[in-house]
Structure 1
Amino acid sequence: MIERIDTGPRMSKIVKHGGVAYLCGQVGSGATVAEQTRDCLSRVETLLEKAGSSPERMLQVIIWLADMADFAEMNEVWDAWVPDGHAPARACGEAKLARPALKVEIIVTAAY
């Protein structure tokens, strides 16, 4: 069974299937990469909870940065947030994001 949560005409915020929750990409507000990363991760936590999951159950995370020069700043926030002993498989790359003000987008897949 496939369950879609908060579905709109373009996408669902969460899709659950076979014990796995797929979250849509999360972006945050703020002027800096650190601020946007903190906001993204707060939004991720909210969606994980809504999916019946948690940061400890993350399987894979994909992070897109508008500029890889921001890698260390983003990682400082990430490293403080990810639960000890529960780091997911992760990839990080540079991409042109949907709006010029966006500096980071985080995509999470988690068990529930």
Structure 2
Amino acid sequence: MTTPISRSQAGTRMSQVVIHGDTIYLAGQVGSPGASVSQQTQDCLASIERLLEETGSDTAHLLQATIWLADMADFEEMNAVWDAWVPEGHAPTRACGEARLATPDYKVEVIVVAARR
């Protein structure tokens, strides 16, 4: 029996959310263009929380995170926001690297995979 796949906020290029079984995959979330690294990180994480809530999950069910920074010099500033956001004892696996993002106004992009509650 094949497990169904559902997609939310789907366009021709991508979906914001894909659910396969009890696993939720979110597209990369970005913050307000031109805002500080801290503000963009807060924006990304707020979007993630909203999407997880809409799909029956929450931050305690994060499995994996991939974080892209436009400049690794911003690593500590991003981590200050991230560390305060992740529930104690529920840190997902994580990778963080530097990449040129969609526009120079973006400094942070966060991609997560989570389990349903």
In structure 1, the residue matched to 2:18 is 15
Root-mean-square deviation (Å): 0.7
Shift of 1:8: 1.1
Shift of 1:31: 1.8
**For residue 82 of structure 1, what is the amino acid of its counterpart?**
V
TM-score norm. by structure 1 comes to: 0.98
In structure 2, the residue matched to 1:78 is 82
TM-score norm. by structure 2 comes to: 0.94
Deviations 1:38-92 (A, max 9, x none): 0000000001111111010000000000000000000000000101110000000
**5+ long unaligned stretches in structure 1:** none
What fraction of aligned residue pairs are identical, expressed as a percent?
63
Shift of 1:18: 2.0
In structure 2, the residue matched to 1:101 is 105
**For residue 11 of structure 1, what is the amino acid of its counterpart?**
M
In structure 1, the residue matched to 2:64 is 60
Larger radius of gyration: 2
**For residue 52 of structure 1, what is the amino acid of its counterpart?**
G
1:47 to 26, 46, 51: 51
**5+ long unaligned stretches in structure 2:** none
Where 1:6 maps in the other structure, the secondary structure is strand
Poorly superposed stretches of 4+, deviation over 6 Å: none
